[in-house]
Amino acid sequence: MFFRTATLRTVAINPDQFAYVGVWSMGVNQSLNIAIPNQPCQMNQVIKNEMRPIIKKIAILSAGMLTFVVLMAFPFGPLLPWSPIKPGYHRTTFASAEIYFNRNERAPEEYRELDQMAREAEAFHHLRFHQKVTVIACKNWGDCERGLPWLNVHPLGGVTLATGDVIYITPTLREKNFSLREFLRHELSHALISQNTTIRKSVKLNEVAWFNEGLAVSFARQHDYLSREAFLSRAATDELAKFIDPAKIDQSSPNWSARFAYPAQRYFVEYLKATFGDERFTQFLVKCIADPDNHSTLFSEVFQQPIADAIGNYQKAVRTGQRPLVE
Ligand SMILES: [Zn+2]
């Protein structure tokens, strides 16, 4: 305050030099705050001087901790797939995949079929794998939770990252005696689609579940969700659009059931292929993975009818026993 008063006085005395004095005063103010003894300023400076090494130490400590956390995220966290060391796992290399399995156990025989599965996936989707897939069979739930901290992994049997080059297999399969072969095929479908689009579009495709999951469940020929009979029984009364149409799906509804939705979506994919032909379906597939934001318009363009109509016709086919086919 003292210096500000002095400045004003100077300006009043010499108005011609207003601008110059003003600038000069600001310079004096700034330098005097440090140079001239003044109790509160001095205290501030003392505190500042004392704080400096502490702040420096905190900064170094924080940087060290951050580096430690990032480094630990490789062998014990979400960066495990890209970690050069994977503690507790042994690796088996195939042409199309690398499998990491509990080092104290032998990997199940199904993993040896991965190359064959990958070739079949390419033929089924009319797409090519561009990268090897890293498959991590979590040796326990802790590894799955640390590897996929953004997901509630416990209800899941397998997870494919949107990058398309990493598949996690969870302990669910062993605990519930689900088919490893079916789940590997399911996740390979996701991996193949993701490798043929961008990460953002791969994430977006989750909103087109009938397409994304329907293809995966169809390629995997999965039976672990619901038998054909159980599906038909429920489909007799439940509106299939609520499990297929992205505009009508409500996963928070008490009536929602993923175990019913997955086969409903699978059979819809198979209905479309049977009705319009594999070539037409592939046209949609290529367009949809390139532009998932416009899946609804693309559907109408390729199949010459809105998805709501197609689902209605599919439901009729299901309720009259024409679909799904008996395997
Ligand atoms: Zn899936």
Ligand 1 midpoint to CA 318 (Å): 23
Ligand 1 midpoint to CA 83 (Å): 25
pLDDT, position 60: 87
| Helix (H/G/I), strand (E/B), else coil: 147 | helix
Ligand 1 midpoint to CA 73 (Å): 25
pTM flag (> 0.85): no
Return the structure tokens found at 247: 């505009």
Order of strands across the sheet that contains 97-102:
89-93, 97-102, 133-137, 166-169, 158-160
CA–CA distance, 90 with 104 (Å, rounded to integer): 8
98, 83 contact by CB (below 8 A): no
| pLDDT tens-digit series, residues 207-248 | 999 999 999 999 999 988 888 899 999 999 999 999 999 999
Residues that place a CB less than 5 A from ion ligand 1? 213, 216
Those residues with Cβ within 8 angstroms of residue 152's Cβ, 6 or more apart along the chain or in another chain? none
**Over the Cα atoms of the chain, what is R_g?**
31
Looking at the chain, the whole-number percentage of residues with pLDDT higher than 70 is 85
pLDDT, position 72: 77
DSSP category for residue 95 = S
Amino acid at 176: K
CA–CA distance, 325 with 318 (Å, rounded to integer): 10
Find the range with the poorest average confidence among 44-48, 84-88, 115-119, 256-260.
Answer: 44-48
Ligand 1 midpoint to CA 319 (Å): 26
Tell me what the mean pLDDT of segment 6-11 comes to: 34
Ligand 1 midpoint to CA 165 (Å): 15
| pLDDT tens-digit series, residues 103-139 | 999 999 999 999 999 999 999 999 999 999 999 999 9
Q: Is 256 left (phi over 0), alpha (psi -120 to 50) or beta?
A: beta
Residue 6 has pLDDT above 70, yes or no: no
How crowded is residue 56: how many other Cβ atoms within 10 Å of its Cβ? 10
Return the structure tokens found at 239: 């509106």
Residue with tokens 């439940």: 238
pLDDT band at 43 (very low <50, low <70, confident <90, very high): low
Ligand 1 midpoint to CA 157 (Å): 9
Q: Is 277 left (phi over 0), alpha (psi -120 to 50) or beta?
A: left
Cα 302 to chain centroid distance, Å, stands at: 28
pLDDT, position 51: 79
Ligand 1 midpoint to CA 105 (Å): 27
| Helix (H/G/I), strand (E/B), else coil: 224 | coil
Ligand 1 midpoint to CA 282 (Å): 19
pLDDT, position 1: 38
Ligand 1 midpoint to CA 297 (Å): 24
Average pLDDT of the chain, as a whole number: 87
Return the structure tokens found at 265: 């979506």
Strands 89-93, 166-169: pairing is: unpaired
pLDDT, position 189: 98
Tell me what the mean pLDDT of segment 177-189 comes to: 97
pLDDT band at 34 (very low <50, low <70, confident <90, very high): very low
Ligand 1 midpoint to CA 74 (Å): 25
| pLDDT tens-digit series, residues 59-84 | 888 888 887 777 677 787 888 898 98
Ligand 1 midpoint to CA 48 (Å): 57
Q: Please give the sequence-ordered ranges of beta strands (E in DSSP) within the chain, or none if there are none.
A: 89-93, 97-102, 133-137, 158-160, 166-169
Return the structure tokens found at 159: 């997870």
| pLDDT tens-digit series, residues 291-307 | 999 999 999 999 999 99
pLDDT band at 52 (very low <50, low <70, confident <90, very high): confident
The domain made up of 77-196 has a fold known as: Glutaredoxin (3.40.30)
pLDDT, position 41: 54
Cα 294 to chain centroid distance, Å, stands at: 20
